[in-house]
Amino acid sequence: MNLCVRPGGTRFYAPRVELPLFEQVADLVRALIPDELGDLRWRAHRRGIKVWFDTDQAPKEHYEAQHLPRRHVDGQEGLAIEVGFHAEHPNQDTNVAAIDQIARSEKAWRKVLGPQPECGVFYGSETWRRVSEAWIEPDLDDPELAFEIAGRLVDYLTMIEPARQQ
């Protein structure tokens, strides 16, 4: 319980309220992201977070961490969390071109991101493309999960965004 004070000085106890997972991720990403990448924007909800730079509206090319049905990853029932970059234009060729641009710098970003990211077709959409990884059956009760997701999302932001700007 937290000791709280109402306007006027009345004290009362209130239960602790934890931020939902992806709200926690948003707070951590804001704290970790270098300013030189641009004006960070995000939209968090109970199933994920979308992150981008500089524009008020989320562009078709952005970063996400989100719950994903495991069946999209390996055909099994359950849950996965996907973290990475998405190109979600209605035109498949535009999405392929976005990923091709990122792939040209793959040697550099693989040094930080490692072998986990896959460049390919988006989970559940033949038109969209991604550079991302999926974590199978994460422990949603793990108090470190928000830190792990935020850290990995920042890795993608700091490595992929410069490749996109070339």
User: For residue 5, what pLDDT is reported?
Assistant: 62
Instruction: Pick the range with the lowest mean pLDDT from 61-65, 125-129, 162-166.
Output: 162-166
Q: What H or E segment, with its residue span, contains residue 71?
A: helix 71-74
Residue-wise pLDDT tens digits, 24-68: 999 999 999 999 999 999 999 999 999 999 999 999 999 999 999
Residue 45 contacts residue 58 (beta carbons within 8 Å): no
Residue-wise pLDDT tens digits, 68-105: 999 999 999 999 999 999 999 999 999 999 999 999 99
Dist CA 54 CA 160 (whole Å): 16
Q: What is this structure's pTM?
A: 0.87
